[in-house]
Amino acid sequence: MIAMMRVDDRLIHGQVAVMWSKNLQVDRILVANDQIAGNEIQKSALLMAAPDGIKAAILPVEKAIGLANNPRAAKLRILLLVNNVTDLLRVVKEVPTEGVKVDIANVGRVAGDLENKKKITDTVYLTDEEIAQAKEVGQRAQNYVYQPLPGDSAIPFMSLLKED
């Protein structure tokens, strides 16, 4: 089963590899990303960041959705990672979210690309299109939060999207 779906533009890194995987007691990390799945160098670098004892896979989004929906996955605890809201919406449309934490933590902070984005939090910057997608995710996911670290309070993400 999916323990958590998380948007983090860094994908597998220290916080995910150590803190979240331990907190969630996952035995699998699944990255859903079309570009990285096709780039062996990026894929290898990310897989090296996975903690010992936790299997990791990097798949195109559609294949990751298929794996997440496979009945055999129900026996596992999976942390599903995407690096953008568009891919999160694709996943949420096709993978059941009941009982799953959906977390937008770090996205859109790429230098030089901030002029077309709105600051949602210190670690989340979204375009108008991404905000619309994030709202659609909120209509589909029950436990939809902003929680950068396991020790941080989970803030309902929809409350951060209220109009100014």
Question: Rounded to an integer, what distance in angstroms lies between the CA atom of residue 60 and that of residue 57?
Answer: 10
Catalytic residue flag (residue 13)? yes
Phi, psi of 30 (to 5 degrees): -120, 115
Query: What is residue 20's DSSP assignment?
Result: I
Question: Rounded to an integer, what distance in angstroms lies between the CA atom of residue 66 and that of residue 15?
Answer: 26
From 4, 5, 6, 13, active-site residue: 13
Structure tokens at 58: 């990097």
Question: Is residue 108 within 8 Å of residue 151, measured between CB atoms?
Answer: no
> Of the candidates 134, 55, 65, 126, which has an alpha carbon nearest to the alpha carbon of residue 96?
65
Length of the chain (residues): 164
Query: What is residue 107's DSSP assignment?
Result: B
Active centre residues (catalytic): 13
